[in-house]
């Protein structure tokens, strides 16, 4: 029976995420759209005012009357120009703040989801690729709501200009609309072609970021092997493809704008020619001719449309990459609690795969309450995956994992994390200070409890030698691998709970320190059960029972002394 309780994966669609982002910024986007539309309205009224002012000036000269009408229209022009400038400044401020808020919301949502999914996320996405999605793609997707509002204004302006042409004279609108389909097809082709190259560009960018993250993590190994040039070539292997897609994006956008620029003057000339003919027929005034020429320019202003559409294309491609992360189903927890005391862990018929390969196959294992079980095996046998399943950092494809008779997937998140503690080979030093990292995750740990846990993990001596002791910021603490492991062990000791899992958490310790910690482990946690992933014979010898894992199956269970009689078991430790 499978115990995986995750939501079914949904296909990645950018529309869902961008819709949610727009709803989050709905108030600001509404104000932004109103400002943009108001700005478009001012831009549309300005040619009319200029035309009326010109007509008033010409009429005044011909009739010899005063310039009252001309002055009024000139003041109207000044007011419209001032309003446009003010609305444009307000639009800039609102656009910047809306983009920043939406980007922050997207990053927060994706980060919370990644943490809710857990380690399974990094099994599918490389850490560098995740960072690229969170930083770069979220920033591109974050501009979508503001860009959509700006696109509304960009559409209002040409549509309003065509309506204004029709109000001046219907033939002016006919002259423009006759060539408008060419502009429409140009914009449609731009969106279709640019969507593909933008998506490919962002994908290659994420691949490079993933390889760069791996190279940074292995910087010491690369330096020791003197393979810097080879590693740089590996990281930048797809850089030519990135360059090709980048140039392709610019070519598509440049070609679209060039085509639009080539078509736009023809439409403007057509409108101006019809307007000139109407002036000669005295159907419109000279001011109307001037206004019509300005409206023709506004109606063909597709350069802004191309820019806004390009922004939306990039936002959709980026949102699609974020949706791929969000489509990874979260781990769903139950609501049950555990009985008052215990610590008995049972794995029954557990099967688990990683990367399409079966790592654990039919594993049955019991850790009696209050006992210590060491899991040993060669590299790749599945020890770390078994440790992850034991504390539900991963779910099996088949089988049951239960603590004191309660399936782990039935436990509430709070109960599970309160009762099951972990110490890892490479612990993450979370928390502002060393004291904070030891007490990280524990509900308000008392300072004395933190220090007691540090003493048990043999971390107190090197901490107290630091100038600021336990108040030393983690980023400023010069820690060796063994000292970092001791901090991780201290954190596991400080958390309490009934079950403790050590995933190779003492591999960087010297023999004497490991001996002291192993003794403290049994004394410091006398009422806790312990599952230890062991690589050293001395660690396995201190356990009550040893489970020998071989090629994904439990080959034998017994004491270390009993199993040591078998030559194949000794070979696990290189003996």
Q: Which of 521, 566, 524 is nearest to 544 (CA)?
A: 521
Q: Which of 48, 56, 51 is nearest to 72 (CA)?
A: 56
63-92 CB burial, b ≥16 within 10 A, e <16 = eeeeeebbeebbebbeebeebbeebeebbe
Determine the pLDDT at residue 412. Answer: 92
Give dist(CA 533, CA 521) in Å, integer.
14
3-state secondary structure of 244: helix
Please, what sign has the CA dihedral across residues 540, 541, 542, 544?
positive
Say yes or no: do domains 16-325 and 345-572 share a fold.
no
Rounded average pLDDT over 77-106: 91
pLDDT higher at 152 or 321:
321
Of the pLDDT bands very low, low, confident and very high (cuts 50, 70, 90), residue 568 is very high
Provide the 10 A C-beta neighbour count for residue 324: 15
Whether 55 shows a pLDDT value over 60: the answer reads yes
pLDDT higher at 152 or 365:
365
Please, what sign has the CA dihedral across residues 157, 161, 162, 163?
positive
pLDDT higher at 436 or 196:
436
Beta strands 406-407 and 357-367 are unpaired
Provide CB contacts within 8 A for 148, sequence distance 6+. Answer: 22, 29, 312
Give dist(CA 524, CA 489) in Å, integer.
12
Of the pLDDT bands very low, low, confident and very high (cuts 50, 70, 90), residue 234 is confident
Residue with tokens 């000279």: 286
Provide CB contacts within 8 A for 99, sequence distance 6+. Answer: 142, 143, 146
Q: Which of 257, 294, 308 is nearest to 36 (CA)?
A: 308
The answer to whether the CB of 157 falls within 8 A of the CB of 40 is yes
3-state secondary structure of 348: strand
- Domain residue limits, the chain: 16-325, 345-572
The answer to whether the CB of 315 falls within 8 A of the CB of 148 is no
Report percent pLDDT > 90 for the chain: 22
Give dist(CA 135, CA 322) in Å, integer.
11
pLDDT higher at 224 or 466:
466
Q: What confidence tens digit (pLDDT) does each residue in 81-95 have? A: 999 899 888 988 999
Determine the pLDDT at residue 525. Answer: 60
Q: Per the CATH hierarchy, to which homologous superfamily does domain 345-572 belong? A: P-loop containing nucleotide triphosphate hydrolases (3.40.50.300)
Tell me which of 3.90.580.10, 1.10.3760.10, 1.20.1560.10, 3.40.50.720 is the CATH number of domain 16-325: 1.20.1560.10
Lowest mean pLDDT among 231-235, 349-353, 559-563: 231-235
**Residue 499, beta-bridge partner list:** 420, 529
Of the pLDDT bands very low, low, confident and very high (cuts 50, 70, 90), residue 12 is very low
């Amino acid at each position: 029976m499978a115990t995986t309780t995750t939501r079914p994966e949904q296909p990645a669609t950018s529309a869902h995420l961008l819709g949610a982002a727009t709803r989050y910024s709905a108030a600001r986007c509404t104000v932004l759209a109103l400002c943009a539309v108001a700005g478009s309205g001012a831009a549309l009224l300005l040619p009319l005012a200029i035309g009326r002012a010109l007509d008033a000036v010409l009429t005044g000269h011909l009739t010899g009357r005063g310039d009252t009408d001309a002055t009024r229209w000139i003041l109207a022009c000044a007011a419209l120009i001032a309003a446009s400038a003010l609305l444009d400044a307000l639009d800039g401020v609102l656009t910047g703040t809306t983009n920043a808020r939406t980007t922050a919301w997207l990053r927060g949502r994706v980060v919370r989801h990644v943490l809710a999914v857990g380690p399974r996320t990094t099994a599918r996405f490389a850490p560098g690729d995740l960072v690229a999605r969170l930083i770069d793609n979220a920033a591109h997707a974050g501009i979508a709501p503001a860009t959509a509002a700006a696109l509304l204004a960009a559409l209002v302006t040409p549509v309003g200009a065509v309506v204004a042409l029709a109000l001046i004279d219907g033939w002016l609108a006919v002259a423009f609309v006759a060539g408008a389909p060419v502009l429409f097809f140009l914009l449609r082709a731009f969106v279709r072609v640019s969507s593909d190259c933008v998506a490919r560009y962002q994908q290659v960018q994420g691949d490079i970021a993933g390889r760069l993250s791996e190279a940074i993590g292995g910087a010491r190994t690369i330096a020791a092997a003197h393979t810097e040039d080879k590693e740089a070539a590996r990281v930048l292997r797809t850089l030519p493809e990135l360059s090709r897609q980048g140039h392709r994006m610019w070519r598509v956008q440049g070609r679209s704008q060039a085509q639009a620029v080539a078509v736009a003057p023809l439409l403007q000339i057509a409108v101006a020619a019809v307007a000139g003919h109407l002036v000669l027929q005295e159907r419109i005034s000279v001011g109307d001719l001037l206004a019509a020429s300005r409206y023709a320019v506004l109606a063909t202003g597709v350069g802004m449309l191309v820019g806004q559409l390009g922004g939306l294309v990039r936002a959709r491609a980026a949102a699609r990459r974020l949706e791929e992360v969000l489509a990874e189903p979260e781990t769903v927890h139950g609501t049950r609690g555990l009985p008052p005391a215990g610590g008995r862990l049972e794995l029954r018929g557990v099967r688990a795969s990683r990367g399409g390969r079966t790592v654990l196959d039919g594993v049955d294992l019991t850790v009696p309450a209050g006992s210590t079980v060491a899991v040993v095996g060669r590299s790749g046998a599945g020890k770390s995956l078994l440790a992850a399943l034991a504390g539900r950092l991963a779910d099996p494809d088949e089988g049951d994992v239960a603590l004191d008779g309660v399936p782990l997937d039935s436990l509430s998140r709070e109960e599970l994390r309160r009762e099951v503690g972990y110490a890892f080979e490479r612990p993450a030093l979370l928390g502002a200070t060393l004291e904070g990292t030891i007490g990280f995750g524990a509900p308000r740990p008392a300072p004395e409890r933190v220090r007691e846990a540090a003493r048990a993990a043999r971390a107190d001596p090197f901490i107290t030698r630091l100038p600021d002791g336990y108040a030393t910021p983690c980023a400023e603490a010069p820690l060796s691998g063994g000292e970092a492991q001791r901090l991780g062990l201290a954190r596991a000791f400080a958390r309490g709970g009934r079950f403790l899992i050590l995933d190779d958490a003492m591999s960087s310790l010297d023999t004497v320190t490991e001996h002291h910690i192993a003794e403290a482990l049994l004394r410091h946690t006398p009422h806790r059960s312990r599952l230890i992933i062991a690589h050293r014979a001395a660690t396995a010898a201190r356990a009550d029972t040893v489970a020998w894992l071989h090629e994904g199956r439990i080959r034998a269970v017994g004491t270390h002394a009993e199993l040591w009689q078998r030559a194949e078991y000794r070979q696990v430790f290189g003996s």
